[in-house]
Chains A and B, each alone.
Chain A
């Protein structure tokens, strides 16, 4: 399990007071936290920086959270996304999971539950990265064997 302070979290929510307060609480628990207040800002953020986990609201002005999730998974699929919404229907949850959302939580959420989910999401991200490295290494090894055989 990754150390908490290594986990970079991006909070995306248009409820400014809520998201700023949540950010303070997560920082006190040694997570590295950034906040943005709408979908376009979130997409702009991930073009420049790479959070490990995004905690994403659904109903935001302009771009809906589901569309933000779709775009994140298209451009930066390695970033884990947890939906945290005050208005989630079953349809929203189904759609979010289909698009690759890690989990779907309802506001008001218990902070210990949220942190547990962030850590799980981060752990899954690490494991996927390790799996990708392992395959890549095996690929390199296989290529190396072919080269040696050819030379022989």
Chain B
């Protein structure tokens, strides 16, 4: 039974990541299309002088370069996501797992009128476990947290090493109300994924902060 829950969770996680990626890439493509189209329009307009056109088009070229950079970066992250799904491995770097989710966390935060800040602990040892399963757990916890927060809240995502474990903490700067929205991920699913990851979710602390503890020895 728990195998079904894990399979369903991973499937849902994959679907969410693909959905967020498609949305973001479509926005990049749409902006690129309009920017290049505007360049074309400006070339053909008679309302601007050649000097003005040149200035506008130069500005557009920089905007396009910038946008292609963002899109490429997102595609790279998505490619890494796919690689880890295809080859989960049996050990993982927690910071890399979170970094791989960062563009999607940013998007979810933006959609909920929230902001995020990441603070990564240094020299964290690798832990035993499945990379995509750990990402699935952190993603589910993050989405649920965002659904409970009021707009304009800032969420700090931090990692640190303790004597025998690695702690991942998601700390909002305002107390969550728990009534802002329905949690997208059922608690039982999160518990099952955490168990499969050999991760322990500390009880929600005051202010809605959530911590995940992964023992180094596992």
Chain A contacts to B: CB under 8 angstroms = 14-15, 17-18, 21-22, 24-25, 28, 59-62, 86-87, 106-109, 111
Q: Is the interface of A mostly helix, strand, loop or mixed?
A: loop
Residue numbers in B under 8 Å from A60 (CB-CB): 111
Q: Which of A25, A59, A86 contacts B37 (CB 8 A)?
A: A25
Q: Is the interface of B mostly helix, strand, loop or mixed?
A: helix
* A87 in contact with B29 given A25-B38, A25-B41 (CB within 8 Å): no
* A61 in contact with B112 given A28-B41, A87-B22 (CB within 8 Å): yes
CA distance A109 to B27 in the complex (A): 11
Residue numbers in B under 8 Å from A21 (CB-CB): 31, 34-35, 38
Complex: chain B residue closest to A112, CB-CB? B37
* A22 in contact with B34 given A86-B23, A86-B26, A107-B27 (CB within 8 Å): yes
**When the two chains form their complex, are residues B41 and A108 in contact, meaning their CB atoms are under 8 A apart?**
no
Which of B32, B37, B45, B110 has the most C-beta atoms of chain A within 10 angstroms of its own C-beta? B37
**When the two chains form their complex, are residues B30 and A107 in contact, meaning their CB atoms are under 8 A apart?**
yes
Ranked nearest first, the 4 interchain pairs of A and B with the lowest CB-CB distance are A86-B26, A87-B23, A107-B30, A108-B30
**When the two chains form their complex, are residues A59 and B23 in contact, meaning their CB atoms are under 8 A apart?**
yes
Shortest distance between the CB of B21 and any CB in chain A (Å): 10
**Residues 19-59 (chain B) with a chain A CB within 8 angstroms:** 19, 22-27, 29-35, 37-38, 41, 45
**When the two chains form their complex, are residues B23 and A17 in contact, meaning their CB atoms are under 8 A apart?**
no
Residue numbers in A under 8 Å from B31 (CB-CB): 15, 17-18, 21
Chain B interface bracket (under 10, 10 to 19, 20 to 34, 35 or more): 20 to 34
Residue numbers in A under 8 Å from B35 (CB-CB): 17, 21
CA distance A22 to B27 in the complex (A): 12
- With an 8 A cutoff between CB atoms, is B67 at the interface? yes
Shortest distance between the CB of A56 and any CB in chain B (Å): 14
* A61 in contact with B38 given A87-B26, A107-B29, A108-B33 (CB within 8 Å): no
**When the two chains form their complex, are residues B27 and A18 in contact, meaning their CB atoms are under 8 A apart?**
yes
- With an 8 A cutoff between CB atoms, is B73 at the interface? no
CA distance A136 to B19 in the complex (A): 49
**When the two chains form their complex, are residues A108 and B26 in contact, meaning their CB atoms are under 8 A apart?**
yes
* A24 in contact with B30 given A59-B111, A61-B113 (CB within 8 Å): no
Residue numbers in A under 8 Å from B67 (CB-CB): 17
**When the two chains form their complex, are residues A62 and B113 in contact, meaning their CB atoms are under 8 A apart?**
yes
Shortest distance between the CB of A33 and any CB in chain B (Å): 13
Residue numbers in B under 8 Å from A24 (CB-CB): 38, 41
- With an 8 A cutoff between CB atoms, is B151 at the interface? yes
The contact sample of 21 A-B pairs, CB cut-off 8 A, is A15-B31, A17-B67, A18-B27, A18-B31, A21-B34, A21-B38, A24-B38, A25-B37, A28-B45, A59-B23, A59-B111, A61-B151, A86-B26, A86-B27, A87-B19, A87-B23, A107-B26, A108-B32, A108-B33, A109-B30, A111-B37
Shortest distance between the CB of A107 and any CB in chain B (Å): 4
Residue numbers in B under 8 Å from A108 (CB-CB): 26, 29-30, 32-34
**Residues 140-182 (chain B) with a chain A CB within 8 angstroms:** 151
Shortest distance between the CB of A108 and any CB in chain B (Å): 4
**When the two chains form their complex, are residues B111 and A61 in contact, meaning their CB atoms are under 8 A apart?**
yes
**Residues 45-89 (chain B) with a chain A CB within 8 angstroms:** 45, 63, 67
Shortest distance between the CB of B68 and any CB in chain A (Å): 13
